[in-house]
Amino acid sequence: MSDPALDVVEFVLTTHFYTENRDLDENDLPPRFRQVFWSDDAAADAPGGIERPLSATDATTRTATGVERPWDAVSDLLFTQHTDFAGEISLTQPSMALEWYRDRADDDRIASNPTMVATLESTDGVEPPVTHAEAREDVRPIQADRVWIDALLSEYFDEDEDGEMLDLVNVRAPEEIETTITDLVLTGNQEAEIQKIVKAIEHREYLASIGLREIGKLLFVGPPGTGKTTISRALAHQLGIPLVEVKLSMITSQYLGETAKNVEKTFEVAKRLSPCILFIDEFDSVAKTRRSDEHAALKRAVNTLLKSIDEVSLVRDEVLLIGATNHPDQLDAAAWRRFDEIVNFPKPDRDMRADILRVVTQEMEIADFDPEAVADRTAGLTGSDLRMVLREAVLGALTEDRMTITQTDVMEAVADFEERDNLKNMDMIDGEGAEVLGEGAGHDHDHGDGHDHGDGHDHGDETTPDDAHAHGHPQD
């Protein structure tokens, strides 16, 4: 349970010592604090930044900590004071406040705040739980914050000239992604590939030193709803880097006169936001276009895309490229050879379906729920399909004014789903019903649902509470 006094004291201490120590920079502030002080005009050579001095006013403290009445929470402490005119909380005895904080804050809290770790390191007789370097390493860099991303895009891309291109990409900050890798159930192959990429990102300098630069271009292959989009988002969340999403079909079908330029700009966005993940969905659009006799601008765009893929590098540019396709049979050799790893996303097997059902129903009340029995009835369904089934069961119960569903409700929803063969080809409205299903509301597209349960099953897919294998949306 949160301690309002501790929350407020930590924030006030952080603003005080960050202002005093000029060796600290924005990445020494926890993300929850630095966003409060972000200014688009703070630096001439960057999209924005944070200017000293920092001030712990009632407003900034409330925003950073979530404590509604911050002064009331610390007014009885001997080392705090409040300026009514400015509404500022400050310290009369910083050393006493620091000692008070160290006695009450646990190691995890301290380790998540590089400013406080640096301060404790310089205090005689005090040893923080981690080093300052370790604390900085574990804190998401400011370049991954939403405010930084928006400022950078505004700085480098003109709204009038580049508006069409920016409409084609969706940039997600890691803070906006709720799904994590630990929420997913993965096949052994998927786990191995993810671990390799994580290690490659951690050791980019080593890879460069030995001349190994052709790494970090993955192709995810599998039917809609099997987790290709979700695992990309979860990976961005785990690594604390932005995710640049683009549907290739849009780039190669809209704004014909600007397609090649838009492709180049898409890669430029990724390089500006690096380190990041560039996720290119519907990659089979390349093969379709290369074989067609349609507009020459589309062919130029595809050639530009293939060239851009060749030129981008995880080691050099810090851009992890992930392509995804539902139709691998439509890719030609020119497309295949751009990727150094192919990751298969098959439909979930029986054990996987049972795990997906357990994950999606974590926050639901279901009388006599038997996920294995449901899994036996749902062969061939993806996580997206299973989530739709549960959604219908919940909504069906609500029509009878019930917030507890039964095994019978679920089985009836399965039967209804089986009768609507065309449902898999329909896009589920993003977010609809997600709140009812609980954690992960609002996430769209393909879904790799679930947890890495460590149950020994080589599951054929992954799912998340929010996408139900992102098995919340058929359109991977």
pLDDT band at 346 (very low <50, low <70, confident <90, very high): very high
- Final residue in a domain of this structure, among 109, 139, 169: 139
Is the pLDDT confidence value at 149 over 60? yes
Q: Kindly state whether residues 336 and 388 are assigned to the same domain.
A: no
CATH number reported for the structural domain that contains residue 405 in this entry: 1.10.8.60
Residues 236-290 pLDDT 10s = 998 889 999 988 777 665 555 566 777 888 899 999 899 999 999 988 876 555 5
> What percentage of the chain carries pLDDT values higher than 70?
81
Q: Kindly state whether residues 75 and 202 are assigned to the same domain.
A: no
Report the pLDDT value the prediction gives residue 303, as an integer from 0 to 100.
82
Q: Show the domain range for 191.
A: 146-344
pLDDT band at 35 (very low <50, low <70, confident <90, very high): confident
Which contacts of 367-374 are long-range, i.e. CB under 8 A and separated by 24 or more positions?
Answer: 367/404, 367/405, 367/406, 367/407, 368/406, 368/407, 369/407, 369/410, 370/407, 373/407, 373/411, 374/407, 374/410, 374/411, 374/414
Residues 370-398 pLDDT 10s = 999 999 999 999 888 898 999 999 999 99
Q: Kindly state whether residues 317 and 203 are assigned to the same domain.
A: yes
Report the pLDDT value the prediction gives residue 18, as an integer from 0 to 100.
97
Q: Kindly state whether residues 64 and 128 are assigned to the same domain.
A: yes
Report the pLDDT value the prediction gives residue 293, as an integer from 0 to 100.
53
Q: Kindly state whether residues 153 and 245 are assigned to the same domain.
A: yes
User: How many C-beta atoms surround the C-beta of residue 237 within 10 A?
Assistant: 22
With respect to residue 221, please indicate whether it lies within any of the assigned structural domains: yes
pLDDT band at 23 (very low <50, low <70, confident <90, very high): very high
What is the rounded average pLDDT for all residues in the chain?
82
Q: Kindly state whether residues 177 and 256 are assigned to the same domain.
A: yes
Q: Helix crossing, 58-65 with 4-20: angle to 10°?
A: 120
Domain count, the chain: 3
The residue with greater pLDDT, 316 or 434, is: 316
Is the pLDDT confidence value at 464 over 90? no
User: Which pTM does this prediction carry?
Assistant: 0.73
Q: Kindly state whether residues 314 and 167 are assigned to the same domain.
A: yes
With respect to residue 476, please indicate whether it lies within any of the assigned structural domains: no
- Final residue in a domain of this structure, among 139, 166, 200: 139
Q: Kindly state whether residues 135 and 150 are assigned to the same domain.
A: no
How far is residue 162's CA from residue 174's CA, in Å, rounded to a whole number?
24
